[in-house]
Structure 1
Amino acid sequence: MMIKNEEINLRRCLESLKPLMKEVSSELIIVDTGSTDNSVEIVKEYTDKLFFHPWNNDFAAMRNTTIGYATGEWVLIIDADEELENYKGIVEFVKAKHGKSVGGALMTVINITGRKNERLPLMSARVFRRAADFCYSGVIHNQPHVKGQLLPTEASLLHYGYMTTDSELMNKKFQRTSLLLKKELEKDPENFYYRYQLAVTYSMYGDNKQALHEILKAYHLINRDEALLKQNIYILGAVVQFYVAAGYYDEEVVTIALKTLEMQPEYVDVIFFLAQTYALREEFEKSYQYYDRYLLLVENFAQLKIRYDISISHYTLNNTIEAHFNMATMSIKVGELERAKKHTAILMNSEMKNEEFRGSVYKMIVQLDYALGSFAENYQFYQSVIKAGDELTAAVVEDAETRWQGASIEVRDAYSSMFAELPDLYGTLNRVRLGRSTVADLAKEIFRKDPNQMQPYFSLTLFALMQDDLLCEIGGQLLTEQTILNFMKHLEDCHRQEFLNRSRQYVFSIELTGAVTYSKARLAKNIAKYLLFSGALDEQEYRQVFAVYLYSGSIYLQTLYNEIVFAKELVFDLKNVEEIYLLYMMLAERSKSDGSKSVQYLRKALEVYPDMSRGVEIILGSLSDKEDDGEMEQLTKQLLANVESLITAGQLEEALNMVNECETIIGGDVRLFAYKTLIIKKRHETIN
């Protein structure tokens, strides 16, 4: 072993060697190349064969120096950032009788990247027969020169040197390794192995574009010779990998991948990346077939010959969850729903250790069940998700509820029937949907908690408030206005016709002379406003609803604000344009006896909230004919400006409706005639 400043890793490594050293006659040789930390003191606890040599920027030369101190028949090479995991295979190998034809042993090096559960295996030659001609070569990424056969063993070690989550470590390694490689390439620009290693270095640093640039240079150096290609097939594998990592999936990627697989059909990584490439090209069936081939090879990896090719790394052996996820996604896209379910079932049974996919898989299960109209098969899954009560649960249930909105009545009932038995609030909601409980029951349960923390799909609560004034007084005050608006939006999306009917009944039942509490006024204001914008009211209904809107809105404002706000028109103390609009409409009502002043307030109301112009026109029409002509002209100009804005925005139908309404108020103004002509012309152009 050679070391320099390895106190973080060293003790773990040396402790892992103890079981091996107990079973075979051995010596522990360590060369320190200039440590300034506590490494030397740690080494002395484990061996007296500690030697010192200054670092010379040549890994192979220093490795050969360490081997020069060895006296045993066999040499095991290990680094401080590694840990011997399974030593039995080494014991079996060195105790066996091997002839001179055997030059060493292979073992599995498992790279630990720091990503959850990711272990990337590579077969590596680490045990060698000590001989006069055995040595390493290569200033960086040094390679052993071995005479004789390398036998595979079941021994393995863990390598922590590529902890990609340690940015400081990765940056330090990148700077050191890339500098050494570039210096060597200056001496030998056509050294394709160093060019390959530089590409790998850029890739590990996250620079995919530069990695691709360098690996293509290496590829072009060997592409002129078919034999050279076969001997260095790992370069072709890297070309495919870095193409995909850099976001390329054109025909060139496919061609090189297929060429690689002709030479090495077991190349797991290339098969995986080719499957990804076909998916990005939306050739889903081809992608599916290659993912299927990938999964079969991973399952039988221990029996593959490629496992013993020490030049090839295997980066995708841990990507089976991603493969199943992509296969499920593609199956949905091509309408193979049962096939997609097969993959989601595998993903669920895998315990979804990869959190990157878990939320998406859960939503995919919901999507499939809604598409197939059956939820019973995954009932236990749904129960476990809902009981978890975490953010992911909320996202999954919200997704299910969104799909519920667009589902048929039969599918909705199938979904609700499954959850109606749950002894919680969600169970009550689904019992209400099935008619087994009342909305009042749901509302009472909600108001025992904080209703403002409820998701919009509990919007049926509003029906309870609209039905039961007492409940409104108990719970209505707890609802914020934003919660009311969220609930209304959900009712509009999911229960539009029922919501319209109930809203009409509720608003028409309100007496404009009766006592209305603040909580009821706030609810009535918002329900009335919804109806005004619904487009579902005839002229008489609109007038009646608008009267309730102004009445409840006035009570709402007067409860919130002191009279001085109205007397001094302190509009900047109000929360939003609707409140300013209501204030001006209240002041217009109070000034009815003074037609000119009332029109002034109506004009101000129109300026701040032009979407409510129809209501202004209703009030204006109710005024006497004594209004000041100047004020009326100002209001007329404002109405015309609103018409022009609608035309500019392309809202021709709305503009025409406003012109017609303006004509009932201000008569046959020539400007209105001109706008009507323009609207008709534009509609004709649009149709043609």
Structure 2
Amino acid sequence: MSYKLSICMMVKNEEIHIERCLESIKPIVDRTDVELIIVDTGSTDKTVSICKKYTDEVYFKEWFDDFSGMRNITISYATGEWIFILDADETMEKYDELEKFLDSEPNETLKNKTYSITGKNYTNLNNHDSYSIFPTMRLFRNDGNFRYEGTVHNQPRFSPPVGKLDIIIGHYGYVVNDKEIMDRKFNRTVALLEKELKSDPNNLYYLYQLAVSYNMHGEVRKSYEISSKIYNQFKKLDRDRQLMGFSVITNHLSNCMTLNRYNELIEASKLAINIRKDYIDGFYSLGRGYERLGNYSYAEKYYEKYLELCKNYEKLAISKDHSIALYRNNITDNMNVKLFLVTLYLDTEKYDKALLYLETLKYNISTIKLYISIFIKLKNYSEIFNLYEKIKDSDTEIISYFITYLENEILDLDFNEKKSIYNYFLNNDDEYSIYSNFMITDDLEVEKKCNLAKRIIDVKDRNNNDILVVPLSYLMLIKGFDLKLFSNMNKRVVFSCVNYFKENNYTELYLRLDEWLMNIDIRKLRIKEVSALKNLFESKLILLLNEYKGTGIKSFIKDNINMFDRYLEVGMIFINEIYNLNAITMKYELINDSESKFLFLMNIYRTNKSKGNTSVAFMYYKLAAQAYPDMADFLKEYIDIEV
């Protein structure tokens, strides 16, 4: 059978990648005019068995330390009119145009002998917006002349003319979490490069690949030593040779940036953009260098040029230059530059320019903050409400942050300004609407205000817990303390409430809190109420520690040791309920929360002390103090009294 396309791969021990790769090309391979050729060079894992699920054309050839030679062997099996080169750690993300190409008439496909596509080198497995981008030759006419050259980083030798197809492949080879695999690849590549450099020690391309290898392996200082040598040689070349070998200095920019060598970064970037006016990474690097040196006007100038080039990337000559990878033409870097510029324009009161960039970004915690800041500066309160309307059905975290940040930003505004903002939210049927009603209701309308406070507390599936603090505090000032009200609050909200009593003219309430806490009958409490009581005791003790910190006054420790003792008593009940200490044996190292670990260890301390195991008990006392250092002073006084 004659094929129109042969997809050629060489593989070795790629079980962590290969299935993802082959699944991505399955719609193409399932065509009757496409064959998949895989040459295995000595896998000892499951690579071969996985490959055989997708093709019968799996061949074996022992590795002989020559990437191009091995690549040429894979090509020799190809019977298709065209050859597509793919690696096991890649995926085909966009292939519509490849299918159109395969379905086109022969005279259409004969226009070019080689085609370039787009590659993405991912730099973070958890963030597909972070990548470098590069044009790469992957589709070649199978005319007998196409081959690869170069022992290590194999380069295709192809025939013109060259066209471009809108195909995207993603490369995952640089984000493998398996250190053993990465070390093996690194050692293999470095050994081959050093072998080549022995016979040609000043070969800039091999030096560049060596610097890249050390950079990707995390040895940035070693990479910098090599890239500096390359850069110094590169500067001495004539302009034509600089243009031809431009890619060899790109790694030097990355090294200078990572090592905070900003003056060197600026110097190298200026040379780079002088050679190539469309070098996107050069303008990004200049912006970054000047930003870090505090020269924001120059940072603004070069960042704006960077964004302009990114926007017009497809029209730039560099987009068709397969020898140059661009590391900064990606969503993450683009977003970070825009956020910097928005912040800069906000600080310099250029609000229109700030909004211009801000409106090109997705709604997230960073952008929500900036929108609110700008609208408050402009006193454009209706836009704050409009923003809320746009995001209210999105991620709960974003809604919560919106509310928290807005409340912090309007904290120092006078009541009339706050009321102007709250008025926009009154007619919504949600928690912030109720809260806004509460905040504009006069304190003299006690019953109405108390009812609104109860409604806020009773909201189920609440987006934001911070707005509980003021209504809860008001309710307790009017109605008195109620442990049940605290039982549905997390630790942070409880602390915020107690701190609010202390800091916001609720001094009487704050002083009454101690007596109320000490007189609660803990024998009648449910576990949620025990948890709330524990959180209240902890909050009060932490606030005391913060109040006297740095004053040299230690008497407050003795004065409040009974409260600490009560805190431990309640904490022991809680920890026994949560971890069921009578039924299980648990390693305290596995407990992440410092307070829970502290209480767990104090429980072991008490158990051993009651059995007369004094030395073991003392060991756990020391571990408890290490687990929760904030309580160490109280704990020392407590132990001294016990002894």
- Equivalent position of 1:173 in the other structure: 185
Offset at 1:257? 1.1
Contact 1:236 1:257 in 2 (8 A): no
CA distance in 1, matches of 2:297, 2:355: 17
How do 1:183-582 residues align onto structure 2 when only pairs under 5 Å count? 183-226=195-238, 227-250=240-263, 252-319=264-331, 320-347=334-361, 350=362, 352=363, 358-383=364-389, 385=391, 390-435=396-441, 438-446=448-456, 448=458, 454-455=465-466, 458-466=469-477, 468=478, 471-472=479-480, 475=482, 478-479=485-486, 486-487=496-497, 489-490=499-500, 499=505, 523=509, 525-526=511-512, 553=515
Offset at 1:423? 3.0
- Equivalent position of 1:9 in the other structure: 18
CA distance in 1, matches of 2:148, 2:133: 22
The TM-score, its normalising length taken from structure 2, stands at 0.67
Report SS of the residue matched to 1:164. Answer: coil
> Percent identity over the alignment?
24
Residues 192 and 410 (structure 1 numbering): CA distance in 2 closer, same or farther, change over 3 Å? farther
Offset at 1:73? 6.1
1:162 to 168, 173, 183: 173
Contact 1:374 1:411 in 2 (8 A): no
Matched, 1:54 2:62: yes
Offset at 1:312? 0.5
Offset at 1:332? 1.9
Deviations 1:383-434 (A, max 9, x none): 4556657344333322222222222334322222223333344323322332
- Choose 1 or 2 for highest CA Rg: 1
Contact 2:68 2:154 in 1 (8 A): yes
Contact 2:146 2:156 in 1 (8 A): yes
Offset at 1:360? 1.9
Offset at 1:193? 1.0
Report SS of the residue matched to 2:411. Answer: helix
CA distance in 2, matches of 1:344, 1:403: 19
Long gaps (5+) in structure 1: 353-357, 508-522, 528-551, 563-574, 580-603, 611-688
How do 1:636-651 residues align onto structure 2 when only pairs under 5 Å count? none
Contact 1:420 1:428 in 2 (8 A): yes
CA distance in 2, matches of 1:102, 1:484: 70
2:41 to 22, 33, 41: 33
Residues 92 and 461 (structure 1 numbering): CA distance in 2 closer, same or farther, change over 3 Å? closer
Residues 163 and 465 (structure 1 numbering): CA distance in 2 closer, same or farther, change over 3 Å? same
- Equivalent position of 1:673 in the other structure: none
Offset at 1:276? 1.9
Residues 16 and 361 (structure 1 numbering): CA distance in 2 closer, same or farther, change over 3 Å? same
Matched, 1:67 2:79: no
Contact 2:211 2:222 in 1 (8 A): yes
The TM-score, its normalising length taken from structure 1, stands at 0.63
For 1:419, the aligned partner's letter is F
Matched, 1:143 2:155: yes
CA distance in 2, matches of 1:134, 1:463: 80
For 1:344, the aligned partner's letter is L
- Equivalent position of 2:135 in the other structure: 123
Deviations 1:200-235 (A, max 9, x none): 223333443333333222222322212332211122
CA distance in 2, matches of 1:229, 1:292: 26
Residues 607 and 448 (structure 1 numbering): CA distance in 2 closer, same or farther, change over 3 Å? closer
Report SS of the residue matched to 2:269. Answer: helix
For 2:434, the aligned partner's letter is T
CA distance in 1, matches of 2:168, 2:308: 26
Long gaps (5+) in structure 2: 1-7, 524-536, 542-553, 561-643
Report SS of the residue matched to 2:359. Answer: helix
For 2:399, the aligned partner's letter is T
Deviations 1:243-278 (A, max 9, x none): 22333322x322221221121111112222222222
Contact 1:121 1:314 in 2 (8 A): yes
Residues 457 and 178 (structure 1 numbering): CA distance in 2 closer, same or farther, change over 3 Å? farther
CA distance in 2, matches of 1:492, 1:338: 41
Contact 1:401 1:457 in 2 (8 A): no
CA distance in 1, matches of 2:237, 2:102: 42
Higher helix share: 1
Residues 89 and 58 (structure 1 numbering): CA distance in 2 closer, same or farther, change over 3 Å? farther
- Root-mean-square deviation (Å): 4.1
For 1:487, the aligned partner's letter is C
CA distance in 2, matches of 1:173, 1:605: 63
For 1:373, the aligned partner's letter is K
- Equivalent position of 2:106 in the other structure: 95
For 2:284, the aligned partner's letter is F
Offset at 1:141? 0.8
